[in-house]
Amino acid sequence: MPLCPMRQMLDEARKAGYGVGAYNVNNMEQIQAIAQAARETASPVIIQASKGALEYTNLVYLKHLMAAAVEENADLPICLHLDHGPNLELCKEAIGIGFTSVMIDGSIDYDKKTPEGKHPARSFEDNLRATKEVADYAHARGVSVEGELGTLGGIEEETHADKVLLTDPAQVEEFVRRTGVDALALAIGTSHGAYKFKHEPVLAMDLISQCRERAPECAFVMHGSSSVPKELVDEVNKYGGRMPNAMGVPIASIQEAIRRGIQKINVDTDGRMAVTAAIRKVFIEKPGEFDPRKYLGPAREALTKLIASKMRDFGTAGHAGDYKRKTLDEMKKFYGKK
Ligand SMILES: [Zn+2]
């Protein structure tokens, strides 16, 4: 699969001052919607799969669905990324099936015994060791690496630490230098899921600027960046859903974060909601409908629209043709020289 290395994609975004959305996938319709939105808006795009997605799709299906998206859109820069890799083992597996980027979430200890939501935060040194191990393995193969400093809150599958710790800017320079990561997820007060805030969203924007000064060439990542737009919540609830008081990160805040130095913006919840709202609508309006194409089709269309609007909002639109995609061999040489 001629995929684009994430390092190159985010370097280009940093230089030009825009953000690239990273959208989670589990099935064909989602992959098609993301690729279609990228095509319509001429955007580079990161398609990402979590550990849960790899389990759901049985890996090999995801690999071939992705290959189809790449084959159909050979001229678009597309990166395939592992979201919240818990350990070296899964990162190796993802790289083995062709991912051009992996995240190693060394910030919390994903031991198998701890119930979800209770995973303890790791020490700085333990995080650093786990991250460097993955970076060394990945870079030897030309693959990009994202790490995480601080912990995110939230209800998303297995990304749930026992407490939220904001990133300490004083640790960023050392972490980036010693691990060699290409991208770093900053904990600035966002969380996963549809219920990010009880009142007004409060994000530590200054923290992004402080980190940017300390690691000028590292890409920064904002997790839990769904906006949970009111129209979408209303749509879900109108057709029999129950999502009271859902709240996300306003687009204006994401745009400010991009201005201050964020390049990768992770979006999952909004896509899930767009799909759910579209399917609910069909089920309520046409209770006699039983052809999956008649509800998965509208879901795919709704998701395409949502993602295309994000590509415009994040400033990604129009940048697909800015650069020539680097090969993993070229990236290997790049890391070898560093
Ligand atoms: Zn995340």
Q: Give the C-alpha distances (Å, rounded to integers) separating 317 from 2, 18, 49, 254, 312.
A: 21, 9, 22, 16, 5
Distance CA 100, CA 81 (A): 6
Q: Tell me how far the alpha carbon of residue 193 lies from the centroid of ligand 1, in angstroms.
A: 9
Mean pLDDT of 32-42: 98
User: Which of 112-121, 154-163, 281-290 has the highest average model confidence (pLDDT)?
Assistant: 281-290
Q: Taking the CA of residue 148 as centre, how many other CA atoms within 13 Å lie in the half-sphere pointing to its CB?
A: 28
Mean pLDDT of 258-286: 97
Mean pLDDT of 238-256: 94
Q: Tell me how far the alpha carbon of residue 284 lies from the centroid of ligand 1, in angstroms.
A: 32
3-state secondary structure of 61: helix
Q: Residue 159: its pLDDT value, please? A: 44
Q: Residues 278, 297, 69, CA angle at the centre, nearest 5°? A: 120
Mean pLDDT of 39-64: 94
Q: Tell me how far the alpha carbon of residue 190 lies from the centroid of ligand 1, in angstroms.
A: 10
Q: What is the DSSP letter of 42?
A: T
Q: Tell me how far the alpha carbon of residue 102 lies from the centroid of ligand 1, in angstroms.
A: 12
pLDDT category of residue 116 using cuts at 50, 70 and 90:
low
Q: Tell me how far the alpha carbon of residue 95 lies from the centroid of ligand 1, in angstroms.
A: 19
Q: Tell me how far the alpha carbon of residue 227 lies from the centroid of ligand 1, in angstroms.
A: 14
Mean pLDDT of 283-307: 98
Distance CA 143, CA 127 (A): 20
Q: Tell me how far the alpha carbon of residue 285 lies from the centroid of ligand 1, in angstroms.
A: 35
Q: Residue 15: its pLDDT value, please? A: 97
Of 9-13, 164-168, 173-177, 250-254, least confident by mean pLDDT is 164-168
Q: Tell me how far the alpha carbon of residue 283 lies from the centroid of ligand 1, in angstroms.
A: 31
Whole-angstrom Cα Rg for the chain: 19
For residue 265, which phi and psi values (nearest 5 degrees)?
-120, 115
Distance CA 151, CA 187 (A): 6
What torsion, rounded to 10 degrees, do the Cα atoms 328, 330, 335, 338 define? -170
Residue 155 in this model has a pLDDT that exceeds 60 = no
Give me the active site residues, please.
83
- Find out whether 206 and 258 touch, Cβ atoms under 8 Å: no
Alpha helical stretches, state H, 140-222? 169-179, 205-214
> Average per-residue pLDDT in the chain?
92
Mean pLDDT of 115-130: 84
Distance CA 15, CA 54 (A): 32
Q: Tell me how far the alpha carbon of residue 266 lies from the centroid of ligand 1, in angstroms.
A: 7
User: What protein residues have CB closer than 5 angstroms to ion ligand 1?
Assistant: 223
- Find out whether 215 and 207 touch, Cβ atoms under 8 Å: no
Q: Give the C-alpha distances (Å, rounded to integers) separating 5 from 29, 85, 95, 144, 228.
A: 24, 17, 12, 6, 29
Q: Residue 10: its pLDDT value, please? A: 98
Percent over 90 (pLDDT), the chain:
81
